[in-house]
Amino acid sequence: MSTVTIENITRIFEASLSPDMNPRAREVLIHLVRHLHAFAREVHLTHEDWLVGIDYLTRAARLTDDKRNEFILISDVLGLESLVDAISHDARGSETESAVLGPFYREGAPKYGRDETISQRGAQDGASVRIQGRVMDGDGRPVPEATLDVWETGPEGLYEQQDPEQPDMNLRGVFSVDSRGTYVLRAVKPVSYPIPYDGPTGDLLKVMGRHPYRPAHIHMIVRAPGYKALVSQIYDREDPYIESDSVYSVKGSLLIDFERAPEGSDVEFLVRHDVILKRTEAA
């Protein structure tokens, strides 16, 4: 075996890999290690630096559970999830733009009927808003089998799994469109909020000199057979953090207006948001 040196360790690592590896795993791992080794050489990484990094990742692991994923938060404030989102969902056609999933999505949200609300606490959850629109394909035809899975924080800026004061699955829900591809749902006007910053993610933000706030938004995943699932968000155009989102996820096409509802309405705000889905290659 060759003596390991600064110059040859990357080649030795690559040569050690089994030729029977999964091709995609091999490609990703080889490029990851090439860049990782190049980074260490470029910054002259010391053993002390390496220990700091290992401790950082260890602390992130200790904080990660089913209510909080510190690794996703770290990747978010580094812009990695937004970059992966842009690579994976390069919207060059007419389809609606995507946005990051984030660390607080939960599967199994309750199903609601047309014009029902995801708020289980009424006014305690915030100002009511009716959101309506159409789900269409790129040619403007309705997608009648589509569903919208939506979720948002409460008025304190906490998702329900973070907040023991909220009922289980509060401010989460799944809605179906009708035969014309239209949907109507009720939610609450979202608020800007800080991502969890009492751990490694917060330490990183402090080093970067950045705030932890996300602009007010509502998450959604729109799915339909034969179409690529769309993970997206809608943002309050007037939010003060639109230009400095801590996770770099705002896109201009996703900014919307929360219009005051007419006097006597059963909600306080109205929103219009149409969604255009992209067909899968097999469709």
Q: What pLDDT, on the 0 to 100 scale, is given for residue 1?
A: 58
Exposure b/e, 83-118, CB count within 10 A at least 16 = b: eebbeebebeeebbbbbbbbbbbeeebeebeeeebb
Q: What pLDDT, on the 0 to 100 scale, is given for residue 66?
A: 83
Rounded average pLDDT over 107-119: 98
Whole-number Å distance between alpha carbons of 120 and 172: 9
Concatenated DSSP letters of 8-76: THHHHHHHHS-TTS-HHHHHHHHHHHHHHHHHHHHHT--HHHHHHHHHHHHHHHHH-BTTB-HHHHHHH
Decide if 96 contacts 232 (C-beta within 8 A). Answer: yes
Query: pLDDT per residue over 155-198, tens digit each?
Result: 999 999 999 999 999 999 999 999 999 999 999 999 999 999 99
Least confident piece of the model among 80-94, 142-156, 208-222, 249-263:
80-94
* % pLDDT > 70, the chain: 98
Query: pLDDT per residue over 224-266, tens digit each?
Result: 999 999 999 999 999 999 999 999 999 999 999 999 999 999 9
Q: How many helices (H) and strands (E) does the chain have?
A: 6, 12
Decide if 93 contacts 278 (C-beta within 8 A). Answer: yes
Confidence of residue 88 (pLDDT cuts 50, 70, 90): confident
Q: What pLDDT, on the 0 to 100 scale, is given for residue 94?
A: 75
Rounded average pLDDT over 13-26: 95
Of 56, 102, 99, the closest CA to residue 76 belongs to 102
Of 181, 161, 174, 250, the closest CA to residue 213 belongs to 250
For the cut 70, the answer to whether the pLDDT of residue 93 exceeds it is: no
Decide if 200 contacts 63 (C-beta within 8 A). Answer: yes
CA 123 to chain centre: 26
Of 24, 25, 46, 2, the closest CA to residue 13 belongs to 2
For the cut 90, the answer to whether the pLDDT of residue 125 exceeds it is: yes
